[in-house]
Structure 1
């Protein structure tokens, strides 16, 4: 079992703990050995520390959308500094064990600048595509459109789903132009169209369409959300002292690591 305290503390001296196991890293190494497409997920969960620290789960998913835990992080804040320290340590640990660099084809996260900026400066994440969790897009769109009446709201959601389901960049460009034009024809949606284009089309967080990852791979961070619910149950859904929280997550990582299920590239036919 590996539990590394990188720093110890406050705004000037951040607290970062990374928890993983040899079994977890062996399973992740199978992605590289078998030539699997490697889709890396990161998601945060809150209210588990009495100090307000955040628990971040890191994982890979395979073609069956099975969740493979890589590490659990506990950080005092979600700034570039904490992400940089945590992921540099994680990649160095992997390379020291296997004498190979971790391979990551794509990363799925949220529209968080600190997270994105840290990835861009750390190999192997720096060469990976940064994909947006589609649920994150929908969640933020809902906050902008919940005041709309049913008709315009349906028009917005239908257009977003059409863009999400595009299967090539050429189709994406065509559908995007059609949807944006349709929105701008409605006076109630013209301001929203400007927001959506700036935030979800022209920004660095624009990759949330299904064609960016191979068929059947996850397009949301839902596997992480499900596992985060497991983390909360494991700590009895209460904010714990930091030593208790670390001990609980170490135990959980060990339990998950004992699962011998390997990454899969095939999809079982329905019964």
Structure 2
């Protein structure tokens, strides 16, 4: 944490089922632009209350001053809709220099999902489509435009109108302290959810360390054993488990593999600039091809998890034509990603992808794409494909050639014994003929 506060996001989240007395363990840490979580401190709380969180933050500030010799500063703080953490941050808002408290987007989606229990798939698809449009907003003005569209669409849906869903969403997620869940509040590439911290919490419950030790072995511990357990975690994450802090964004393994699948099925292509307009060096046009019915089938795969048939799911978005031959292509297009996230690979703000694709820049430290997905994640399938097409590494540097040309005059190749590649005759070096070579351990 002893670095520029604009280069990380502060997370804190309580996890249970660690000790037998059900005391929550508060995990504090930071995530870098690569979305890697770096634990900083652990607190064992009596309960999740404003007083307990305030005590934990004050203790963290004191420890930082003791170790680093200066005051702790936080620019971005990730939170959920719980009041206790938010109120405790407000108590030290100016001392910490907090610029904004971000809302965990996953927490919003999870709460909306609970609110929509029992509604038709068509209504759910309508809600999430507009929520993701608002989430990918690049400014307040764009958010306001998407919100107006959402109100009009939700107001015309009888199910949502009967549940007063528009009023609920406005009161809880627009006109409240939990409204900063749009990507323009977070620097590109950084996490927009509390997932880095929550994934680390699983370390206590499930994850193995060095494929040998499981911390909790899926069981609870006594209070004293819990302190010993936390001490072991602190020691390991301060030594061999310590992850390097990333200064630059890098594509995830899932995104790289999905891009490979898209290339395999010819769903990404480079459009020659002479067909559009000239581009400067280091820029190309990359077009993402959305196969017919791919979005429909992607929704089908998602909704099937909710015990709906593929036909029902496809009908929910108005597409009843399903060609079995398209399933492989749809599976490649939909691989390991959310359908609404995929839609924003083909959008720039609210503008659809033009026929010639997106303008992609692949110069060192200047990776850029016009799509919404890149605006959020600082990486996308278009950039990865453009880097491969222009033979550059993930940072935009030209790949090192695997073969080199020999400079100067060249002579005929010879072996170490002076023989050329041909089988007959003596070489220019004067080596012996094959007939003159004796057997092993034999002298002339």
Same fold (TM over 0.5): yes
For residue 127 of structure 1, give the secondary structure of its aligned residue in structure 2: coil
Which residue, out of 200, 204, 218, partners 1:227? 200
Cα distance in structure 2, aligned partners of 1:260 and 1:139: 31
Which residue, out of 73, 76, 87, partners 2:46? 76
Match of 1:118 in 2: 88
Cα distance in structure 2, aligned partners of 1:180 and 1:57: 38
Contact kept, 8 Å, 1:231 with 1:249, in 2: the verdict is no
Cα distance in structure 1, aligned partners of 2:114 and 2:31: 29
Which has the larger displacement, 41-50 or 117-126? 117-126
Which has the larger displacement, 141-150 or 255-264? 255-264
Cα distance in structure 2, aligned partners of 1:126 and 1:83: 18
* Unaligned stretches of 5+ residues in structure 2: 207-214, 251-393, 400-444
Contact kept, 8 Å, 1:38 with 1:103, in 2: the verdict is no
Cα distance in structure 1, aligned partners of 2:231 and 2:188: 34
Contact kept, 8 Å, 1:47 with 1:239, in 2: the verdict is yes
CA separation of 1:125/1:36 partners in 2, compared to 1, >3 Å: closer, same or farther?
Answer: closer
How far apart are residue 98 of structure 1 and its match?
A: 1.2
Larger relative CO (CA 8 A, sep 6+): 1 or 2? Answer: 1
Match of 1:156 in 2: 127
Bigger helix share: 1
Cα distance in structure 2, aligned partners of 1:211 and 1:121: 25
Which residue, out of 138, 147, 159, partners 1:188? 159
Which residue, out of 211, 236, 251, partners 2:184? 211
For residue 108 of structure 1, give the secondary structure of its aligned residue in structure 2: strand
Are 1:57 and 2:27 counterparts?
A: yes
Match of 1:12 in 2: none
For residue 33 of structure 2, give the secondary structure of its aligned residue in structure 1: coil
Match of 2:421 in 1: none
Are 1:245 and 2:216 counterparts?
A: no
CA separation of 1:228/1:126 partners in 2, compared to 1, >3 Å: closer, same or farther?
Answer: same
Cα distance in structure 1, aligned partners of 2:234 and 2:117: 39
C-alpha deviations, 1:171-199, integer Å up to 9, x for none? 11111121122111222112111111100
* Unaligned stretches of 5+ residues in structure 1: 1-27
Contact kept, 8 Å, 1:208 with 1:219, in 2: the verdict is yes
For residue 191 of structure 2, give the secondary structure of its aligned residue in structure 1: coil
Match of 1:96 in 2: 66
TM, length-normalised to structure 2: 0.52
How far apart are residue 260 of structure 1 and its match?
A: 4.8
C-alpha deviations, 1:54-111, integer Å up to 9, x for none? 0121111111111111111211100001001111010111012212111211111110
C-alpha deviations, 1:122-171, integer Å up to 9, x for none? 25446331111111001100000021101111001111111111111121
RMSD (Å), alpha carbons: 1.7
Contact kept, 8 Å, 2:73 with 2:97, in 1: the verdict is no
For residue 7 of structure 2, give the secondary structure of its aligned residue in structure 1: coil
Q: Which has the larger radius of gyration?
A: 2
Which has the larger displacement, 76-85 or 188-197? 188-197
How far apart are residue 264 of structure 1 and its match?
A: 2.0
Are 1:175 and 2:156 counterparts?
A: no
Cα distance in structure 2, aligned partners of 1:221 and 1:114: 16
Cα distance in structure 2, aligned partners of 1:122 and 1:262: 29
Cα distance in structure 2, aligned partners of 1:95 and 1:202: 36
For residue 182 of structure 1, give the secondary structure of its aligned residue in structure 2: helix
